Amino acid sequence: MTNVKLTTSQALFRFLDNQYINYDGEEIKFVEGIAGIFGHGCVLGIGEALESKAEEFKYYRVNNEQGAGHLAIGFAKQNNRKKILCATSSVGPGAMNMVTAAGTASANRIPVLFLPGDVFASRQPDPVLQQVEQEYDHTISSNDAFKPVSKYWDRIVRPEQLMTAAINAMRVLTDPALTGAVTLCMPQDTAAEVYEYPESFFEKRVHYIQRRPLAQGMAKRISEIIAKKKKPLILVGGGVRYSEAWDELAAFAAEFNIPFSETQAGKGVIPWDNEYNLGSIGTTGTLASNRLAKETDCLIAVGTRLNDFHTASKWAFQNPELTVIGINVNPMDAYKFNSIPVLADAKLALSEIHSSLGDMGYKSVYTNEIKSIKEEWNKEVDKLFDVASHDPEKIAQTRILGMMNSGGISDDAIVVCASGSLPSDMERIWRPRSKHSYHLEYAYSCMGYEIPGAIGAKLAEPDRDVWVLMGDGTYLMYHQEIVMAIQEGIKINIVVVDNGGWQCIDNLQTGQGIPRFGCELRFRNEKSQRLDGDYVPIDFAMNARSYGCDSWSVSSEKEFAVALQEAVKSNKTTVIDVKSVVKSMTDGYETWWRAGTPELSETKAVMDASEVMQKHLAQAKKY
């Protein structure tokens, strides 16, 4: 066996550069590059190793470490988890900035390799700059904060530990059931230390993505359960997208006359106008989905986490005869909601159950309900898209979406969104017309994902237009990666819907009877000492121009239409600052969401809301 002398960092990137996956016979290079910010703890070890491989392992310089992680998530998500980027940082606050992104990756089941710099393994110079010391345990550093949000976590304190750590990292990153954030902490002395690694460690490795088949007899068992049901409903999650099961889903729905609803991660895998597609479900659901959900006697949940938004806090399904079937590669998800767990790949499961159920000659008892409720909802969306503002100087939020979705941008453009009231509106009324055009991060609903996530999506598919939809609150929280887009010559288009603050949270607050307090972007009122003065005027377009963007500040429909046209023609990143009508988003359609409504208050409206919560809670499932 021959050895090669390398630093730990050099060995890591030589290893990563030789990792491939095989997905249904297609071999794909898995690790494409790295994003991050250099500082002490990473610039000398990791930085030196990257500089020597700059041509084959591309480095993206971001402006906040959180952005490095979110960029990597956007890249991996848009690549359907077949390619990834790494993210790196210095020790201390740089590493801590990435923790939010690691949580976003794990919540969304998106593979990202995080490489935060760490304090010295030898402890010789301790305490180093930015080190947090704990009297009871000197092995703890800031990087231990990654543990609860990582799917795999390791600290490499000796160079030879890299080999087992790197292989375990790949095990998790390429596992459809386990994937998410993987964190390998690199102490700054270890990262630069030399070791003689065996050449075999650097040989090309192909990780075969193995589709988990149904257990023997499971297709027949599940088919027999469905065959006894009258009105089943399919819930489409991200697992349908990542297993590429859209054809199997469409065929299953058509063969057995079964409608389907979508989660944020599952939306768009089948075009909106499919006759069985009822759109989103639950708290941010459509009227069509929510009405049929109440009476379904069999929920076939495919590749979904079954979160509270899509089950309306387990209230959406009111039929006492309800049976839930959980088809998922992840056992934790398959068992949720007291489901009958079906541990299998979505594509294989739908195909096998289809064959078995077809042999039974099954059809649901739906007659014209699916068509009529879908037509009713389509009319509602048309109305929302065309709603005229009562203020001629501003434009309604749903009208903004309608103008974009009905010809303002191309049908194959990728739209990116993550937080605020826009994801709710997008899930309800956006009409995806092409595959992988709907890119929403909503498992973590992370403010700040939008711009770096969009850059990652653009890196994944450079030939497609990418549009960001974000609120003014989110823009203020995280917009600095616009500079990275300008620096790299990457064009994304950003639409900032300025409605004067965090209006979705203001809705949640006032909707539970609490007087408006602290959510809007207003000046302080000297008399009341509350933030209830005039709205703070901000020119987001001017800020974007200072970064080097083409930008427009608009308020009327006519101005917005012109700005859209100009943004499409521009050859660099654009920002359209749209002054929208406050409270012009969509509202609930026969649904509920459990919030933490106070059970005791001096305000009568709060107590009334608490009574409503208790009433709905009594109707909701408890498991």
Q: Are 41 and 91 in contact (CB under 8 A)?
A: yes
Task: Look at residue 277 in the predicted model and tell me its pLDDT.
Answer: 98
Residue for token pair 């960029």: 71
Task: Report phi then psi at 520, rounded to 5.
Answer: -90, 155
Q: b/e string for 163-188 if b means 16 or more Cβ within 10 A?
A: bebbeebbebbbbbbbbbbbbbbbbb
Of 107, 187, 189, 85, the C-alpha closest to 142 is: 187
Task: Look at residue 518 in the predicted model and tell me its pLDDT.
Answer: 87
Q: Which residues of the chain have pLDDT under 50?
A: none
Q: b/e string for 382-418 if b means 16 or more Cβ within 10 A?
A: eebbebebeeeebbbbbbbbbbbbeebbeeebbbbbb
C-beta neighbour count of 358 within 10 angstroms = 14
Q: Are 515 and 603 in contact (CB under 8 A)?
A: yes
Segments in 20-177 forming alpha helices (H) = 46-51, 65-78, 93-97, 99-107, 161-173
Its sign, for the CA torsion 558, 564, 570, 576, is positive
Task: Look at residue 503 in the predicted model and tell me its pLDDT.
Answer: 84
Beta strands 194-198; 3-7: pairing state? antiparallel
Q: Is 26 exposed, middle or buried (0-12, 13-18, 19+ CB in 10 A)?
A: exposed
Task: Look at residue 258 in the predicted model and tell me its pLDDT.
Answer: 98
In the chain, what is the straight-line distance between the N-terminal and C-terminal CA atoms, in Å? 56
Angle at which helix 346-359 crosses helix 246-256, to 10 degrees, equals: 20
Q: Are 344 and 213 in contact (CB under 8 A)?
A: yes
Task: Look at residue 390 in the predicted model and tell me its pLDDT.
Answer: 65
474: left (phi over 0), alpha (psi -120 to 50) or beta: alpha
Task: Look at residue 588 in the predicted model and tell me its pLDDT.
Answer: 87
Distance (Å, whole) CA 581 – CA 535: 13
Distance (Å, whole) CA 36 – CA 90: 9
Task: Look at residue 508 in the predicted model and tell me its pLDDT.
Answer: 83
Task: Name the β-bridge partners of 439.
Answer: 416
